[in-house]
Amino acid sequence: QVQLVESGGGLVQTGGSLRLSCAASGRTSVISNTAWFRQAPGKEREFVAAINWSGGRTWYADSVKDRFIISRDNGKNTVYLKMNSLKPDATAVFYCAARGITSGPYNYWGQGTQVTVSE
C-alpha cells in the first residue's frame, strides 16, 4: 500500500503563491506517475498536473499551464506543486494521487488540502 499526505494549503490573496507538498510512504517503489487534482465547491474533481517517476515528463491542465509547476524529490518521496499568480477560481481542495501503472487509474489518494484564494 501507498500512503499520501498533502500539506501546504492555506489562504492567499489574488496574485499570490503557494507550494503544496505530497509526501508518499509505504510501497513507494510501485509508483509510476503522481498527480494533483482539485475539486472546487459544487464542481467535479479535475486534473491539474502530473509528473512521472523520474521527473523527466510533466503534464498540465491548460488552465494552469505557465503558472503552476510540478516537481519531485525522490530522495524525500515528495512531489510539489508550486502555484503562482493565483486567482479566486483556484479555490478548491487539492488532492495528491499516484498510480502504479502508467496508463492505469490513479488508485492512491491523499486526504486533500484546502487552498483558498481571496479577492
pLDDT of 103: 78
Task: State pLDDT tens for residues 70-96.
Answer: 999 999 999 999 999 999 999 999 999
Name residues whose C-beta falls within 8 Å of residue 61's C-beta, 6 or more positions apart in sequence: 46, 47, 48, 49
Arithmetic mean of pLDDT over the chain: 95
For 94-108, write each residue's pLDDT tens digit. 999 999 877 789 999
Does residue 113 register a pLDDT over 90? yes
> How far, in Å, CA of 49 to CA of 58, rounded?
7
pLDDT at 111: 97
- Check if the beta carbon of residue 20 is closer than 8 Å to that of residue 37: no
Q: Which amino acid is at 117?
A: V
| Three-state DSSP state, 103 | coil
Give just the sign of the alpha carbon dihedral 31, 32, 36, 38.
negative
CB-based contact 2:25 (threshold 8 Å): yes
